[in-house]
Chain A
Amino acid sequence: MRKEDLIAELEALYRARYRQFVRVATAIAGEERAHDVVQEAFARAIRSSSSFRGEGTVEAWLWQVLINAARAERSSRADMSPLDDDEFLVVGNGHPTDDLDIRAWVVSLPERQKLAVFLRYYADLDYRTLASVLGVEVGTVSAMLSAAHTSLRRSLKEVSRD
């Protein structure tokens, strides 16, 4: 793909899905840095356009760039992102709220499952694109999300038993 065509495709992606990119970046790197992460990810994609080999879609490649940028941003800071902070594990009045349940669940997920959840529910990616972004088979994506669902279901049952 010519560089001009790639930039045009990136621009279209940016204009169409900027808010979803920011949302995922927020989940990984925190709200304050999310916009900068997205800007940097697109700039990085343009700068390294030659590394796009056309083996998958531009969108899947871009998501990979963005996730790497967000992770790099997060690891450069001493504090953790909002969804990795464990302060929310404190429950109010003896009863965890729904927010607390979901936060606790997200925190408990292995890193790749967590990414799959973010990309599935914050970016609305289909299983095929998700597989391409994560570099796994479609069946693996399905298994990862299923495992994530099971863990949430189990935590809900535990709460109700209490």
Chain B
Amino acid sequence: MIDVEPLIISGLDRLVPLPSGERANWQDVLASAGVKSRPRVTRNRLVFVVAALAAAGAIVAATPVGAALGHGFATFSTWLNGAPGKPSSQAEQRAFDRATRSWTGFPQGTKLRRLVQTNTGGATFTLYGFRGAGSLCLRLVVTGNVSARTLACPPLSALRGSQQPALVVGADYGVGTTRQTSNGPFAFAAPKFMVTFGVVADGVQRVELTRRDGTTAHSVVNGDTFLAVDSSASPITHAWATAGSRRVPLSLTVAPVPFGFPQTTGPQLTAHGPATVQRPVHGGAIRWLARREPRGTAVPPTVHHIVGVLSDVIFHREITPDRSAPERMVVSVRPAGSAYFGGRLRNKLQVCAEVVGGRLAGGGGCWPAGRLFSTAPFSLGVLIQPGGQTVTIAGLASDDVAKLTLYLATGRSVRVPLHDNGYLTSAVKADYPLRLVAYDSEGRVIGVKTLQVDDRRGPGGPLPVANAHWRSVVKTTRGEAFVAASTTGGTCYAIRVDTVTSGPTCQPPPAATELQIGYGWNRSNAEVTGRAGSAVAHVLVKLRNGRTLTLEPIKGYILGALPLPSSSTPNLNPVRSITAIAADGRTLTPPTVSLTGGSGTIIRLTRTSIRIGSPRAAHTCRFTQESPSLSGYAPGLHVQYICRNGVLSLIGRSRPNKSATWAYRTIWAKGPITRLNASTITVHNTLAPAGSPDAFTTCARTKTSPRTDRYHLTDRVQVFCSHGNLTGINHDSP
């Protein structure tokens, strides 16, 4: 008999996910029922009430503070309207005034407050704060045997109607000299101190932080702020705020592996705001930029060094997206050179937007001029502020855009300042996922982009879970394989051979005859690591020097450290081919790849799949790590797409009966060939960050594709693919 309960539970979960509780409002219920609500307790009175109840041994959870913590009615009145902490010294205030004098538009006379201070390990950690231009800013100053200064500025709007009793502003901010440490297969250099800080709501008495190793770090709470300084190498994974007997989990964004993609622990929210484009627009433009009109002001020489204004810049201007903020944006048009696709870009210009000045560390990015608005009528840049909990969202919008709105996962929305086609706003990771929505002059939705905490990935790519525990599954004299749980319920693995770690990889397990192989080499060794399907008994590695070596999978994992002859040329790929062999000696070929695709309208887009077509005839493809990012895509958009073995591998916007405008019309990939058959070629793209959706590039081989006779599995090549088809290939000899 089939146990259908798990199917029911998971199926019903997908149909109606547990909603967030941000709209809960008991006062509204009472008002609707015609019941007079109880008067609100002021902050001063509250302190008295809490103290009185504590003295009487009563349960603090019965107080409004306890209720607030439990159900998201926390208030940050001191941060929003009062004066947290105490005044800073005259010298500190003067230094602050000097530093902010150049911040155009920043309110002069803004008072710096001293919030909390703690001493540990020969260093003094002081947190200052100020409020202005729509933000609250926390400035961490470290003096003593180590020194550091950093500033993080979440928007004040994050505190209004906040569901959480505390906001983590900076987490695991590293201070001091480093030492080697490890987390499972990952060795990295850890700072001497890890500092976590933030602001607390009225009535919060304690903030606790849990490290990955299970120990707890307590913070100092003072001046409506908390500050925790930790010398443990184990990173913070969870945070809680406590008032009385109530303990509430806080949203915290942490990386599951050192330098890995971040994930959020604490309450998990869902995106709000319109998800469907009502009027698709194509070929957006910024006319003033195209005509080289002198909008804004000339770029001041003082920021030339920041934005890298070089003699070859064709045109640049400094604009002010938000007149009430001290930040500016430098917009420039430059030659693309070889920045994209090895210089094979048809339109060889790029448009750059850089945020400069004010409270932010600054930063920005460039887009090929012809692709600035390829997926939506606005380009999107996300700058992560120090501490990793606050982001600055900035970019350029086409002339089609009349209004931009940022929808927070809490259900609130923020009008995004937009001027001279530049926009700039900020948000906290606790309010993720965010949805940036563009409207035309008639109020129709013309563009949607949803930002997940891990905004560099497509919506379906599995990752190691946030507090991943890496368990050793295979150990040899030279290496070790580790596994951890993935965000989609599967398994991720990473393999260390000698001192080199490959992974994490969260791909589905290989098919029976398949190899998932990666390799690297140095002067003395070639490391061949990965997984083998259940039918693979041996892996035959042929080297260029004529030698053949055999590896045997251990529990399905391959941990190969192959000695290379001393005469080996260091830069030359020593591996000629890697072949899977069955127990009976047969050479195993990888399973056939099925390519499907077509064009149609996106009907449904979830975190794990996309459905394209018409309501009566549609096709669903899954996402994996190999799928392209779907940022900018939304139900209602017409697209062309290719799915490989049921997994989305290529997608581009199109119009009915027109060819697609691929997000990546021409793909340039560089690295070893991991699969080569009659219909496709797959390259492990070393140009893409490890584990990114672009890490494996697959191109279809068509009649017009170049011949591939002289290329073999594992050869290092450069490939160029247009519209998903192989258009160029050559050996890549460093």
A83-B16, A153-B1, A156-B4 in contact; A42/B29 too (CB < 8 A)? yes
CA–CA, A43 to B24, complex, Å? 13
**Contact check: which of B14, B21, B35 meets A7 at CB < 8 Å?**
B35
* Chain A minimum-CB-distance residue to B30: A46
Per DSSP, are chain A's interface residues mostly helix, strand or loop, or mixed? Answer: helix
A92 touches B613 (CB 8 A): yes
A79 CB within 8 Å of chain B: no
Interface range on chain B (Cβ under 8 Å from partner) = 35 or more
A2 CB within 8 Å of chain B: no
A23-B19, A90-B618 in contact; A152/B4 too (CB < 8 A)? yes
CA–CA, A102 to B674, complex, Å? 39
* Chain B minimum-CB-distance residue to A14: B26
Name the segment of A33-41, A52-60, A70-78, A131-139 touching the other chain. A33-41
A47 CB within 8 Å of chain B: yes
Encode contact with B along A96-113: 1 for CB under 8 Å, 0 otherwise: 011101110010000000
CA–CA, A7 to B23, complex, Å? 20
A149 touches B4 (CB 8 A): yes
B538 CB within 8 Å of chain A: no
* Chain B minimum-CB-distance residue to A152: B4
**Contact check: which of B2, B14, B32 meets A40 at CB < 8 Å?**
B32
Encode contact with A along B31-75: 1 for CB under 8 Å, 0 otherwise: 011110000000000000000000000000000000100110000
- Shortest CB-to-CB span from B27 to chain A, Å, is 10
A18-B21, A23-B19, A152-B7 in contact; A43/B33 too (CB < 8 A)? yes
- Shortest CB-to-CB span from B33 to chain A, Å, is 4
B16 touches A14 (CB 8 A): no
B348 CB within 8 Å of chain A: no
We find that the number of chain A residues with CB closer than 8 angstroms to chain B is 42
A19-B18, A22-B19, A121-B12 in contact; A46/B35 too (CB < 8 A)? yes
A122 touches B2 (CB 8 A): no
B615 CB within 8 Å of chain A: yes
CB contacts (< 8 Å) of B35 on chain A: these are 7, 46
- Shortest CB-to-CB span from A41 to chain B, Å, is 9
* Chain A minimum-CB-distance residue to B35: A46
B619 touches A14 (CB 8 A): no
B498 CB within 8 Å of chain A: no
CA–CA, A122 to B611, complex, Å? 26
CB contacts (< 8 Å) of B34 on chain A: these are 47
A14-B26, A15-B67 in contact; A152/B8 too (CB < 8 A)? yes
A93 CB within 8 Å of chain B: yes
B12 touches A122 (CB 8 A): yes
User: What 4 A-B pairs have minimum CB-CB distances, sorted nearest first?
Assistant: A102-B11, A43-B32, A46-B33, A43-B33
Q: Beyond the given A43-B33, A92-B613, please list 10 additional residue pairs across the A-B interface where CB-CB is below 8 A.
A: A18-B71, A34-B19, A39-B25, A43-B30, A46-B29, A46-B35, A92-B619, A97-B609, A121-B12, A149-B4
For this complex, 13 residue pairs linking A to B, each with C-beta atoms less than 8 Å apart, are A14-B29, A23-B16, A40-B32, A90-B615, A90-B616, A92-B619, A98-B10, A98-B14, A99-B11, A102-B7, A106-B15, A152-B8, A153-B2
